[in-house]
A and B are shown apart, each in its own frame.
Chain A
Amino acid sequence: DTAVSQTPKYLVTQMGNDKSIKCEQNLGHDTMYWYKQDSKKFLKIMFSYNNKELIINETVPNRFSPKSPDKAHLNLHINSLELGDSAVYFCASSQGSGRDTQYFGPGTRLTVL
C-alpha cells in the first residue's frame, strides 16, 4: 500500500496554463505539506495543513492555491504557470508537528514550456 501518493508523476504544460496536482495519504496523519524542490535539489516548504486548516503559507505567489477537502487529501492548484514554476513538487504528511517524521510522496515533476 502506498502511504503518500501523488498524481500525476510528470506534468508538461505551456506557460499561462492552469494545472493541479493531487495528493492523498492513507496513514491517518493530521498534517500534510507541499514542498518545492528546485533544479539544485534545494527543498523548501510551501504550505502545511493540519486537519484541513492552513498552518503555514510561505511566501508563495497567489497563483498557488492549496485545497484540503479532508485530512487525507491536499491538492495544489497553480494558475497562470510560469517558466520558474518548473520544479519537482513533493507532498508529505506527518502525525502532528514538524518534530514528527514526515512521509513523502514520490514527487511530481512539473515542466513549463
Chain B
Amino acid sequence: AQSVTQPDIHITVSEGASLELRCNYSYGATPYLFWYVQSPGQGLQLLLKYFSGDTLVQGIKGFEAEFKRSQSSFNLRKPSVHWSDAAEYFCAIPIQGAQKLVFGQGTRLTINP
C-alpha cells in the first residue's frame, strides 16, 4: 500500500545546529511528496513539495528536501535551526488516484537554546 513513514517521533536539536528529519515512502512509481509544518496551536503549512525533475527541492523558511529513489526517502533538512522552527513536521503522499493525502505519523522538533 502507498504510504509514508516517519521513523522519528521526537527530535531535539540545539539552536544553530543542523537538522535532518526522515521520511520513507512506499509507492510503485515516482511519487508526489510533501512536507508540512504545524506550529503549536496552528494548522498545517506547506514547506515544500516534490513532483519530478530536480531531486533537491527548496522550500520556505530555509528548508530543503532531497528525493532519493534508491532509498525510498524524502528527508527534510535545514543547515541551522532557529527556536521558531520548534513544531510538528509531517511528510505526506497522495494516494487513491491522488484523491486524498496520507500523512506520516509526524516528528516533533524541540529546539534547545
Contacts and interface: CB of A to CB of B under 8 A. Distances in A.
Interface in A8-42: 40-42
A56 interface: yes
Given A99-B32, A101-B46, A107-B43, A43 B106 contact: yes
- Top 8 nearest A-B pairs (CB, nearest first) are A104-B43, A98-B94, A97-B98, A104-B44, A98-B98, A43-B103, A98-B101, A99-B98
B46 A102 contact: yes
A56 B100 CA distance: 8
Nearest to B90: A43
Size category of the binding interface on chain A: 20 to 34
Interface of A: 4, 40-45, 48, 55-56, 90, 92, 97-99, 101-107
Interface residues of B, number: 27
A90 B44 contact: yes
A51 to B, nearest CB: 14
